[in-house]
Amino acid sequence: MATGTLYIVATPLGNLGDLTPRAAEVLSTVPVVAAEDTRRTRGLLAHLGASPKLLSFHAHSTDGRTESLLEILAGGRDIALVSDAGTPVVSDPGAALVSSVREAGYAVVPIPGVSAVATALSVSGFEGDRYLFLGFLPRKGTARRRILAHAAGQEWPTVFFEAANRLVALLEDLAEVAGADRPASVARELTKIHEEVRTDTLGHLAGHFTATEPRGEITVVLAGTGIPEAPPDRSGEGATLAAALLEAGVSRRGVVEQLTTRLGIARNEAYRMVMEQA
């Protein structure tokens, strides 16, 4: 008996004209659509004149919902997974479902289209050859500070998602770790009627959105430093490991190999450390 296919379907950020013909065909023909927000997806399906069975699938869905979707696939019916907007699984639920479907032996097919990450990068004015995507940050605490510091030191642009009511806090926190003069771009309500893309320094952006309350869905692009990150100094750790290995009877060549593979220390530096311990 033939089994169903799970389609991962990218949907518009706002402008329905951005839905690809292939995505429209899939959503118009599949018998089941699993949606993050059924109310929002119902409007898109009505636009297409489609009426598949609509099931909710979101961050708080239980394992029971995943099992139900697997049963549908086992019965030979296809499913389209969609998020509220853009490409599913990117800062949206769905990764665990995709993994479960693959483990069960069913096909998973991507239907590519809009991504807020690529869209915001394209109008930021920053080089998009390489970038780091961090999605939504933790709201506070050590994890937030660690990630912000990591982003500030990146050679390439970093892309964040943020809620409108937390945008100013994000800009201020970035200014604290990256400097108020670091360029950034705030893309708000992309492809919608009130679309706004503002590129300026972090300090000016924080001031603007403090005075003008932001609304809608927001993507922030932080410019990179343009300077490669310095590798961590592991000389102390390397010297300690070299001494311990030599004492344990490992050959000098063997110690050099372990320093390079375990700590990522350059071979000439590893050799120097070994010679200093001899």
By three-state DSSP, how is residue 201 classified?
A: strand
How much is the pLDDT for 195? 97
Between strands 132-135 and 158-163, the pairing is parallel
How much is the pLDDT for 108? 98
How much is the pLDDT for 234? 67
Tokens found for residue 48:
């297409």
How much is the pLDDT for 1? 66
- Contact status, residue 225 vs residue 153, Cβ threshold 8 Å: yes
Q: What is the pTM of this model?
A: 0.81
Write out 110-122 in H/E/C secondary structure.
EECCCCHHHHHHH
Continuous H helices in 75-110: 95-103
Q: What is the CATH number of domain 117-222?
A: 3.30.950.10
How much is the pLDDT for 232? 64
Nearest to 108 by CA among 3, 7, 1, 2: 7
By three-state DSSP, how is residue 243 classified?
A: helix
- The CATH architecture to which 5-114 belongs is 3-Layer(aba) Sandwich (3.40)
Distance CA 161, CA 153 (A): 19
How much is the pLDDT for 93? 84
By three-state DSSP, how is residue 13 classified?
A: coil
Bridge partners for 151 per DSSP: none
Nearest to 22 by CA among 109, 83, 94, 102: 109
Average pLDDT of adjacent 10-residue blocks, the chain of 278 residues: 92 96 98 95 96 93 92 97 94 91 97 96 96 95 91 95 97 95 97 97 98 97 87 74 85 84 80 78
Q: What DSSP assignment string belongs to 15-46?
A: -GGGS-HHHHHHHHH-SEEEESSHHHHHHHHH
